[in-house]
Amino acid sequence: MKEALDLLRMLAEVDENLLKLSGRISDLDREEAHLKERISEVDAAFARRKEEHHKLRQTAQERTIEVDATDAKIREYQRKLEHDIVPYKEMEFLREQVQILRQRLDQLSEEALRLMDAVEEDAKKLAQEEAQYRERRISLEQEIQHVSKKREELKHEREGLEAKREEILSQLPSSLRQHYEKLRTSVPNPVVYVNGQTCGGCHLRLSEATLLALQEGREVVTCEHCWRFLVLRWG
70-87 residue pLDDT tens: 999 999 999 998 888 889
Residue 202 has pLDDT above 80, yes or no: yes
Q: Provide mean pLDDT across the span 103-125.
A: 97
The answer to which of 106-110, 114-118, 138-142, 194-198 has the lowest mean pLDDT is 194-198
31-74 residue pLDDT tens: 999 999 999 999 999 999 999 999 999 999 999 999 999 999 99
Task: Pick the closest to residue 228 from 191, 178, 184, 185 (CA basis).
Answer: 191
Alpha-carbon distance 60 to 212, whole Å?
A: 93
204-233 residue pLDDT tens: 999 999 999 998 888 999 999 999 999 987
Alpha-carbon distance 189 to 205, whole Å?
A: 18
pLDDT-derived band of residue 105, with 50, 70 and 90 as boundaries? very high
pTM reported for the whole predicted model: 0.77
Please, are residues 3 and 161 in contact by the beta-carbon 8 Å criterion?
no
Query: What single string gives the DSSP state of each residue in 106-137?
Result: HHHHHHHHHHHHHHHHHHHHHHHHHHHHHHHH
Residue 1 has pLDDT above 70, yes or no: no
* Average of per-residue pLDDT values in the chain: 95
Please, are residues 164 and 156 in contact by the beta-carbon 8 Å criterion?
no
Q: What is the residue extent of each domain of the chain? A: 2-172, 178-231
The residues near 102 (Cβ < 8 Å, ≥ 6 apart) are 74
Q: Which residue has the higher pLDDT, 84 or 137?
A: 137
Alpha-carbon distance 130 to 65, whole Å?
A: 29
16-35 residue pLDDT tens: 999 999 999 999 999 999 99
Query: What single string gives the DSSP state of each residue in 10-69?
Result: HHHHHHHHHHHHHHHHHHHHHHHHHHHHHHHHHHHHHHHHHHHHHHHHHHHHHHHHHHHH
Q: Provide mean pLDDT across the span 181-187.
A: 94
Residue type, 138: I
Alpha-carbon distance 72 to 10, whole Å?
A: 92
Alpha-carbon distance 118 to 126, whole Å?
A: 12
Assigned CATH topology for domain 2-172? Helix Hairpins (1.10.287)
pLDDT-derived band of residue 158, with 50, 70 and 90 as boundaries? very high
Percent of the chain with pLDDT over 90: 89
